[in-house]
Amino acid sequence: MPPIGTLLVMRKRPIIIGVEDEVDGEDARVTVTLDWADQPWHGQAIGSATARPRLAGEAALEAVSLLTNGRIDVELLAVATSDLGAAQIALAQVRFGNDDVLVGSALQGETDGRLAAVRAVMDAINRRLELIL
């Protein structure tokens, strides 16, 4: 609990509403929907069906770019899953602006790799993003 007299300002962050994909043979289209300011924001990425977690991360960043009206420049550098003890985690590396490289992580748990990748991407950028929003 914060000391008495400390003012806490809780900034709102975009909320992940959903991750959907359409697979057609070897190709996939992943759509990520975020909620911000009571409005849905959709990002999409198209690529190989075998890379759907990466596509989900790219789609999340597109949705963020749209909701900030292009005020941020972000690029997904890498996304991966790994075992950490008994847990499986998703890791994301995001370039934010020209020089900053941010890293985020998320437990995969019982979710699939796409949602875990989106959570890791949002974990990487949320603190910087809320300063802009």
128 C-beta neighbours (distance < 10 Å), count = 15
Nearest partner of 111 among 23, 24, 31, 18, judged by Cα: 18
What is the pTM (predicted TM-score) of this model? Answer: 0.89
Helices (H) and strands (E) in the chain, counts: 2, 6
pLDDT at 6 over 90: no
Q: What are the structural domains of the chain?
A: 15-132 (3.30.160.270)
Average pLDDT over residues 16-30: 97
What percent of the chain lies above the pLDDT cut of 90?
77
Q: Does residue 19 sit in helix, strand or coil?
A: strand
- 81 has pLDDT over 80: yes
Report helix, strand or coil for 111.
coil
Rounded Cα gap, residues 49 and 117, in angstroms: 15
